[in-house]
Structure 1
Amino acid sequence: MQTASTEAVAQYFDEFDFCLDSMDSALSGPSMTKALNRQVEVHPNLTKTNILIKNVLILNSPEDHGPAERELTGLLGKFETAYATEPGYAEARAYLDAVCALGLPGPAASPAALDALAPNYMQAYRRVLSVLGDFGCAPLAPGAAGRAAPADADICLSVLDAIVEGHTKTKALNALSNRVVRTMCVGNDDDLACLAREMGSKRTAFMTKWVGGAQGGEWEGSQEDVYYQALIELLSNGLTAGARGLRNPWANAYARVVAALVRELGARRTPASSRVLTSFVTWESELRRTLRSAGWDENPLDLVGVWAVGDDMDLLPDYAPVAALSSGGGGGAAAAGGMLRVMLKRDGSAEIPDNGRVKGLRWRLDPGPTHLDTLRFEVRQAAGGGDALGGEEGALLSYTGYVDRGARIEARFSRRPLKMTGRLTRVVRGEQRPSTRFSMRLVERED
């Protein structure tokens, strides 16, 4: 069986899937739809996420759209040079024109242009609008002028900001906080490092302008300064960084930043950098461990049974960690439905039925700080199972799914399949290697 390299898999998993073809995978070669999905690589740091999404959400500081607009204009020419002679180019270019218009100051695609899109590209265009809308971008009416831009959530605004016109320090820090959140949700490691460097280099100028004069360094050590540096630390070290020295209201503001990240990273399909994802898994594990009470049931009866687990990236039939867990251990079964079956037993053990190449280990449910509890289970390559997980001997797959408490209660009465989504992390010799999202549903209850 072919094994996808860690580098190739990471690149593929860090992208939203808007318009990939059924033949596209981390192992397949270049294609027009891959380039179209990535919006063509025209920037050295934009090799892992979709350029239009990053362009609109995080690429430039709020006051400077020039470089972002120049990149989109150059992108159109580069795509034409590379694929003008390919079959289906006209339909692909029409879609690309419509998408790029969202990030340019001119009019959005006209109603006639959208009506003329091929059905698969119209669906892809709607996905683009949906993802932008998730981050607060108001929908642009067809043909309307303007550039799509995200709306900032209230993270640290003061009560005076609602009545005071013009800029204030809390408005400035609120805009910066939202930019940090968006970067951590859709950026790669380079984007995080770039923003951290930018904020570090602009710290003095920012604090002098918004908090206090340069004379005597009045702003140094202020709560605004501590908060600003906590955001830099968050970009550099992820959620495990913590925030020391913050007092209310800035401690509350930092808590809102963390809450926004948990909502995005824990229950959505948002791509994330390996740094963010690894820190999220570590942070969440430690946090939930402290929330368990003496009466907490780690293996509740309503979760016992057989779960069908599907990998979100079902376009990867040759990705060994997924294919090895299908009932036959081959890529065909994973490609056919992307489903493996895991039996969660009342004693806390996990079994993989009809598969001798991998063995289930333990499962447990941990309480969450919100309505989302965490179900974890692990599988490991069995002795003599060969390279079933596509990695080194002893490689382990750790599944972390998020269960809505309200959905659990509803499922007890309706008997509908309980569903959850989560993240799959590959662990080799203690090192966590984030992979992809997965979804799962309870198909056979023990009770």
Structure 2
Amino acid sequence: MKKHRLVILGGGESGVGAALLGKQKGYEIFLSDGGPIKPKYEKELIDNQIDFESAQHSLDLILNADEVMKSPGIPEKNEVVKAIRAKGIPVISEVELAYRFKGDSKIVAITGSNGKSTTTALIFHICQTAGLDCALVGNIGYSFAKQVAEDPKALYVAEISSFQLDDIKDFRPDVSVLLNITEDHLDRYEYKFENYINSKFKIIQNQTMNDYFIYCEDDEVIMEKLRLLTIHTNPLPFSMKHEVKKGGYIKGDQMMLRIQEERVSMSIYDFALKGKHNNYNTMAAGIAATTLGIRKEKIREAVKNFHSLEHRMEFVAMVRGVEFINDSKATNVNSTWYALESMTKPTVLILGGTDKGNDYSLIADLVKDKVKAIVCMGLDNSKILEAFKDVVPVIVETDSAKKAVNTSFKLAAKGDVVLLSPACASFDLFKNYEDRGSQFKDAVKEL
């Protein structure tokens, strides 16, 4: 009997993870990457005797696939993808492959335009605190497929991006979380917001009445879409504007969670994560934990002692009375809006990078209220200069993390905050947002 031939496009974390799982399950595997493959991933492929090519795509070896697993970073307009589609070869994502072999394990899947990494990490932290056999996987940086292959768990807490949802077929989380939907990545969705919304809602397409769907009732885009859909899952909304019968809400300074008989209440002042946006993230995480049967004492304990993620509103240092915060993961304007919204001190804001069609008017009011100076950190800062020239008295251009930090420190007074929250991608000056955040932190430590 002929082996199922799975061709994998992309030799990064998800591609290599899928290759390892496919090989373990008896598939014939061929991995192809148009660019160079990192040495650590190349070594894994060689050690596991997996056929691969790098810095090229051999169409004859790709187009004889029974199925193709496409890494999330590869867009539909890629020529190889077009050729695969034209031939009618089924395309799946890595999370679909992982789902196929997960066995009886449960999945909590989290998506949204902003806050998904933080919420995913918090849910995982609550599950760990409660002693569950669980793993943190997906878009947060760990291959779901590799986890299933090498160290299967009873529960997977998975951050899922819209790109990963685009190519699912049967993927069905037991608990899905949709935090919010704002315009992002529209270059991948033919610049149609509706396409991006549809992609996010694929997280519930296979759910049944045995599953749960946790979503923000204060998000107009989500609510508008829900009015058009018939959903086949158990809805658990959360809100800060009104009480909900089932789900979660915040009234005054109290968070209330109600799922079946179990009720949890706690003060928002006890949350480790501060800011209105994090109140939403904490509610979503608390509801997810409750659906898993985690006791309220454990939820309270975990929510109190959670440490936020690296590069996401991460406290770096206090230098002569000036606080430095690394929010390098803010790669769109909405993320920066959330960061500014939680600022309570005069702020020197470091902005800039590769613009993704940003509309800076979204943060103009917050900048006017909270920001005393803007330090640009990018190769082309013209849009930022134009957007804020009449809003902020001081705008300075720099072209490195070190210069941006030194300039910001000079502009800040004791009691101020220097906030790196760039609202842009990082590819003009840095390898990625992690590199940008790390260089920022190194420069702060040198002050």
TM-score (norm 2): 0.29
Instruction: Report which of the two structures shows the higher radius of gyration computed on alpha carbons.
Output: 1
Per residue, is there more helix in 1 or in 2?
Answer: 1
Greater relative contact order, per chain length (Cα 8 Å cut-off, separation 6+)? 1
Report the structure, 1 or 2, having the larger strand content.
2
> Structure 1 length normalisation: TM-score?
0.29
